[in-house]
Amino acid sequence: MSYFHACTDVGCSRPHNEDAYLRDPEHGVFVVADGVGGRAAGEVASAITVETFAQAAAMLQEAVLHYAENPTLANRNYALEALDETCQQASRRVFEAAEARNLRGMTTTVVVTAVGGGWAFVAHVGDSRAYLLRDGEVRQLSEDHSMVNELVRSGQMTLEEAQRSRYRNVITRAIGLHPTVQPDLLAIEMLPGDRILLNTDGLSDVVSDETLARLGSMPDIREAAEAMLRQALDNNAPDNVTHILLEPEASPQAGAAIARAQIMEDLFLFRDLPFHARLRVSRICDELFFTPGQVILSQSAPGNTMYVVVQGEVSVSRDGIELARLGPGEHFGEIALADQQPRSATVTGVAFGSLITIGQAQVLEFCRREPELGNQILWKLLRTLARRLRETNALVAGQQD
């Protein structure tokens, strides 16, 4: 099971601690919440949220392990939706408690991970963060739901200006602000040595990513977490400081996991996206294993799926004549994301291998759920199709000459 350590401290300026956290190694569920709204209100909101996830821990574990045992697109999205629904429950409960107690504005951030079977599922709302520590580096898994982050992303503010802004702690999404909430959701396959850090902004506001990476890589996870807390206090942390550092079990198929991660990083649809955005977009991806001689798609058959080779090799042929062989990282069928016309070629497995599949329906559903990120994906697809069209026109023109 996971190795972990949790820390919390009132910080150097606040008289009370409004943070709350959950450690449930039996079910693999870990939560950090940062209450907002003053002493009583903040403490109540974060406590209600943590309690809600504690009650849902067994259900979340079941969903995560079911996916780990049978990693289909439907099972992965079921686990993500289980996290989503728990966030909804927490938001309803906090909102109703605020209404009943006449404490409007009582809200909390939340960041949670449910781990098991070599996978970590993450949900977050607000500006508490999740980080992945891998190979001595730290990568942010979450994107702050804050006013200054919106301004930075839109180009109206620099990172340096955001760090000095008086509005840097104004959050745009929170548990309990409304009866419903939109959490960011993602799943990530754990590699050997990977660690996850969940923390309130009391830590990340005063300790740099570089320092978190260095301290988080200390061999003893308890010493690493405690060192992070000491560093925050040494830096005169003005807010409550709470974090959980854990090292989940790694995927039993580490080699394949590394290959999948590299493909996702290099694929044209995801290239140049922030790490956390690639992980969120991965909910549209499924995996297909193939054997030598297996027909993956047939010429003239309709299709609505794009394929990316992860391992192995496939043969592309038309009218019985081989046109090409594609290996890891190469893709085919991307035009099917735009229409469902008959396939122009047959693709057959040459050796044992696997493919990432991306379906048209999944892309459209993701665009409805996350329109800003979905539009980036559609724009990348349009540019790729335009390039293919120009290449085809140039080839035809050359033949005519």
What's the pLDDT score for residue 112?
98
**pTM for the whole thing?**
0.86
34 shares its domain with 168: yes
Answer yes or no: do 148 and 87 share one domain: yes
Give the integer Cα–Cα distance in Å for 168 and 148: 6
CATH number for the domain including 188?
A: 3.60.40.10
Choose the final residue of a domain: 218, 252, 286: 252
Mean pLDDT by 10 residues, the chain (401 residues): 87 92 97 84 95 98 96 93 98 94 90 97 96 95 84 67 68 94 94 96 95 96 97 95 96 82 82 85 88 94 91 94 92 85 92 92 88 86 80 68 57
The last residue of a domain, from among 221, 252, 283: 252
CA 172 – CA 400 distance, rounded (Å): 58
CB atoms within 10 A of CB 139: 16
Dihedral sign for Cα atoms in the order 261, 139, 375, 85: positive
Do 248 and 264 fall within a single domain?
Answer: no
Looking at the structure, tell me whether residues 113 and 243 fall in a common domain: yes
**Same structural domain for residues 99 and 230?**
yes
The three-class DSSP label of residue 183 is coil
Are 239 and 266 found together in one domain?
no
Strands (E), 210-320: 241-247, 285-290, 295-297, 305-311, 314-318
Q: Indicate whether 150 and 242 sit together in one domain.
A: yes
- Rounded to the nearest 10°, the torsion over CA 249, 252, 253, 254 is 40
Amino acid 1: pLDDT: 43
Residues 20 and 146 in one domain: yes
Q: Are residues 229 and 263 in the same domain?
A: no
**pLDDT for res 162:** 63
Is the domain of 140 the same as that of 276?
no
> Is residue 178 domain-shared with residue 271, that is, in the same domain?
no
Range of the domain at 100: 3-252
CA distance 305 to 53: 36
Considering its fold, how many domains does the chain have in total? 2
What pLDDT, on a 0 to 100 scale, did the predictor assign at position 388? 73
**For residue 170, what pLDDT is reported?**
78
pLDDT at res. 146: 81
State whether 92 and 76 are in the same domain: yes
Q: Write down the pLDDT at residue 277.
A: 86
Query: For the domain that residue 369 is a member of, what is the CATH number?
Result: 2.60.120.10
Domain's final residue, options 233, 252, 271: 252
